[in-house]
Amino acid sequence: MQNLRAARQGGWSFFSLIALVALGVLFFIIGMAMYPGYYEAFAVRKAVNSLEEEITIGQMGKPAIWRLLEKRFDMSGLYTPTPQRDDLTVQYDKRTGKKVIAVEYDYSAPLFYNISVVMHFKHEIQVEGS
**pLDDT greater than 90 at residue 13:** no
pTM: 0.80
Residue ranges covered by each domain of the chain: 13-128
Instruction: Report yes or no: 51 and 59 within 8 Å, Cβ to Cβ.
Output: no
Give the pLDDT confidence of 22-78 residue by residue, as tens digits. Answer: 999 999 999 999 999 999 999 999 999 999 988 888 888 899 999 999 999 998 888
- List, in sequence order, the alpha helices (H) in the chain: 4-7, 14-50, 62-76
pLDDT tens digits, one per residue of 77-89: 888 888 999 999 9
Percent of the chain with pLDDT over 90: 62
